[in-house]
Chain A
């Protein structure tokens, strides 16, 4: 059922899930991921279709785009993050939804982004889907490794402290604004870089790629996978991206079933699939 093309989409989903997870690990419900994803994708689409486009592009050029996208999204996130991160809970969530919509309309209206049709004919760094699997897989491995390291680091512990109690953590001398901003910027960079890979994989890019729907779907990755460990959003992203495809045999009912999973998942697994208790048991398990 699963082919390499779907596997790429699943890995991209996991990366986006991680991007939503990072601010949440510091207690911030930010839904800005699709905005930065769209910025990254648009940047890659613009850069790689300049001049007379060859159908292939070197891996080095793609890495260059990723570097640029990371820089651009980091700068944007710094600019936006400072005012926005003063907001709490649902206010933060809605202001980041606003950001997503503003970016979407901007991409639709700007004179150089191809309007409704978008940018097409994006050159390919790989001839086979397997290339994308290896490339995005390495990116996921790197992001996962960093997250694993983060949990044990000073920054990671500060993030967890803010998530548990922001006021108390401030009293303990944690520079909360800086920690929250760091998480936000890291999330934006990850989304931007993912956008670059997605633009090449999708062959085309348009304003519809970073929409409110994406914000909610990626949030669902984190909630269903579990928001207490970086593995939660990864597994949530992999499973939920594959789900509509795996549900193809049920035909017209598949979106109804997909909705039921989102509806009932949190009811039965309020902490998500990957809970701290589960990880603890796994860690203590001796074969």
Chain B
């Protein structure tokens, strides 16, 4: 290999180097051309379409680890789409759904793609971490975003264009603890579990622990788990050695469901309070009969008896073999609904006539934030910074049926919360 005299024109090494130099130059040229061709295809400066359906974008996790939520969201949005389309409206809306996958670069790519296609507003992305990556881009381009499932702290604060319909855990979490303490006032020993690699669960457990501290309870054991864990023998036996009377869990559906099942199998008989990540019927097949009796605070209750929630429930059941919808689907429906209704109001007032897309997006944002909405979540509206203000929260208890494979969240308590202060 180490032949000397690499100067002869027939030398393969020299030819190879010349070849790489040529290829590199060609590549640089190609990249420059690509950059030039795709420099700015932002249609924001063009006039907004006057007739025909208005394009609305959604970037959801249809692949990757988060796609369990993405699939539920797709279901919620498509039900809302069908339902709203069949009701009298001023302007049709055309949904453009893209896979935002479960990682940050894909969410950015999906947002860029949809913005370039000239959508009036965006729904998504699925994970809070993805929102911190993709939302700033929509903010800079002036595209309103309604987050359907981002519950981390600081999402609406990314910018004026960012809002959400997914209430933060700080509002909900304390209710279920209080319910557990009301049922067993003598509770002294509390064990806490949380999925430490999940943004939602870590935020939620901080609130749970704050509430516990405020009630004078110091956890006897705090166990950190991972989202991908499914064997909890270690943390459970460690916690049970402290003989807890109450277990508080912040996790997602599958890991949380497994945790509940194994807690019971390993002999824990006390009360279990779980966070909002487990507020989905997806837990029933996982923890089966062991789910029974678990307390949960909910941002959405399928038991809410309003016309719109009844419609949502029956449509969802129709499309899903009689299944009961969960919070993720309800919030996705709501995200679509609030945008749709804001578009109708703006259209009725002639707000879309003779303006650029950029101006139309800005007007839609104002309209969105100023409205009040009657949704499956109950009545909601937005704070000026885009944070959702939701009046009603619920404490429910899981009741499993005789087969141990199906159950329901029975409403224990319904709370009207005073408007959260900024």
Interface residues of A (CB under 8 A from B): 2-7, 9, 11, 108-109, 115-118, 120-121, 124, 127-130, 133-134, 137, 141, 144, 148, 151-152, 157, 160-161, 164, 172, 202-204, 206-209, 229-231, 234-235, 238, 244-245, 248, 251-252, 254-255, 274, 276, 278-285
Question: CB distance B132 to A280 under 8 Å?
Answer: no
Distance, CA A148 to CA B35, complexed state (A) = 24
Distance, CA A229 to CA B21, complexed state (A) = 11
Question: CB distance B17 to A283 under 8 Å?
Answer: yes
B-side contacts of A276, CB under 8 Å: 12, 16
Q: Residues of B within 8 Å of A, CB-based: how many?
A: 59
Taking the closest CB of chain A, its distance from the CB of B256, in whole angstroms, is: 15
Distance, CA A62 to CA B108, complexed state (A) = 21
Most chain B CB within 10 A, of A2, A203, A245, is at A203
Question: CB distance B38 to A204 under 8 Å?
Answer: no
Taking the closest CB of chain A, its distance from the CB of B254, in whole angstroms, is: 17
24 residue pairs from A and B, CB less than 8 Å apart: A2-B34, A2-B38, A3-B113, A4-B38, A5-B112, A5-B137, A6-B112, A115-B199, A116-B129, A116-B196, A117-B202, A120-B154, A120-B158, A121-B132, A127-B140, A130-B35, A134-B35, A137-B31, A161-B2, A164-B1, A204-B132, A231-B20, A279-B16, A283-B15
Most chain A CB within 10 A, of B1, B21, B35, is at B35
Determine the main DSSP class of B at the interface with A: helix
Given A7-B34, A116-B199, A230-B20: A283 and B27 interface contact (C-beta under 8 Å): no
Interface residues of B (CB under 8 A from A): 1-2, 6, 12, 14-24, 27-28, 31-32, 34-35, 38-41, 62-63, 98-99, 101, 103-106, 108-109, 112-113, 116, 128-129, 132-137, 140, 152-154, 158, 196-199, 201-203
Given A116-B196, A235-B27, A280-B16: A3 and B203 interface contact (C-beta under 8 Å): no
Question: CB distance B38 to A3 under 8 Å?
Answer: yes
Question: CB distance B21 to A117 under 8 Å?
Answer: no
Given A208-B103, A231-B24: A116 and B202 interface contact (C-beta under 8 Å): yes
Question: CB distance B23 to A115 under 8 Å?
Answer: no
Taking the closest CB of chain A, its distance from the CB of B215, in whole angstroms, is: 25
Question: CB distance A9 to B109 under 8 Å?
Answer: yes
Question: CB distance A148 to B113 under 8 Å?
Answer: no
Distance, CA A11 to CA B40, complexed state (A) = 18
Distance, CA A244 to CA B32, complexed state (A) = 22
Given A7-B31, A148-B17, A203-B132: A254 and B99 interface contact (C-beta under 8 Å): yes
Name the residue of chain A whose CB is nearest to the CB of B103. Answer: A208
Determine the main DSSP class of A at the interface with B: helix
Distance, CA A229 to CA B12, complexed state (A) = 14
Taking the closest CB of chain B, its distance from the CB of A232, in whole angstroms, is: 10
Distance, CA A148 to CA B16, complexed state (A) = 11
Known: A117-B199, A121-B136, A282-B22. 19 other contacts (CB 8 A): A3-B38, A3-B113, A4-B40, A5-B112, A9-B109, A116-B197, A124-B136, A130-B35, A137-B31, A137-B32, A141-B28, A161-B2, A164-B1, A203-B136, A208-B129, A274-B23, A276-B16, A279-B15, A280-B15
Question: CB distance B23 to A279 under 8 Å?
Answer: yes
Name the residue of chain A whose CB is nearest to the CB of B6. Answer: A152
B-side contacts of A152, CB under 8 Å: 6, 17
A-side contacts of B22, CB under 8 Å: 282-283, 285
B-side contacts of A7, CB under 8 Å: 31, 34-35, 38
Question: CB distance A204 to B133 under 8 Å?
Answer: yes
Question: CB distance A116 to B198 under 8 Å?
Answer: yes
Name the 9 nearest CB pairs between A and B, nearest first.
A283-B19, A279-B19, A282-B19, A283-B15, A283-B18, A204-B132, A120-B132, A117-B199, A203-B136
Name the residue of chain B whose CB is nearest to the CB of A5. Answer: B112
Given A161-B1, A231-B23, A274-B23: A280 and B12 interface contact (C-beta under 8 Å): yes
B-side contacts of A121, CB under 8 Å: 132, 136, 154, 158
Question: CB distance A244 to B199 under 8 Å?
Answer: no
Question: CB distance B27 to A231 under 8 Å?
Answer: yes
Question: CB distance B133 to A202 under 8 Å?
Answer: yes
Name the residue of chain A whose CB is nearest to the CB of B203. Answer: A117
Name the residue of chain B whose CB is nearest to the CB of A128. Answer: B40
Distance, CA A223 to CA B199, complexed state (A) = 34
Name the residue of chain B whose CB is nearest to the CB of A230. Answer: B20
A-side contacts of B16, CB under 8 Å: 229, 276, 279-280, 283
Question: CB distance B14 to A283 under 8 Å?
Answer: yes
Question: CB distance A244 to B17 under 8 Å?
Answer: no
Distance, CA A120 to CA B128, complexed state (A) = 10
Question: CB distance B98 to A118 under 8 Å?
Answer: no
Question: CB distance B35 to A281 under 8 Å?
Answer: no
The one of A11, A141, A278 that contacts B19, using a Cβ cutoff of 8 Å: A278
Question: CB distance B35 to A137 under 8 Å?
Answer: yes
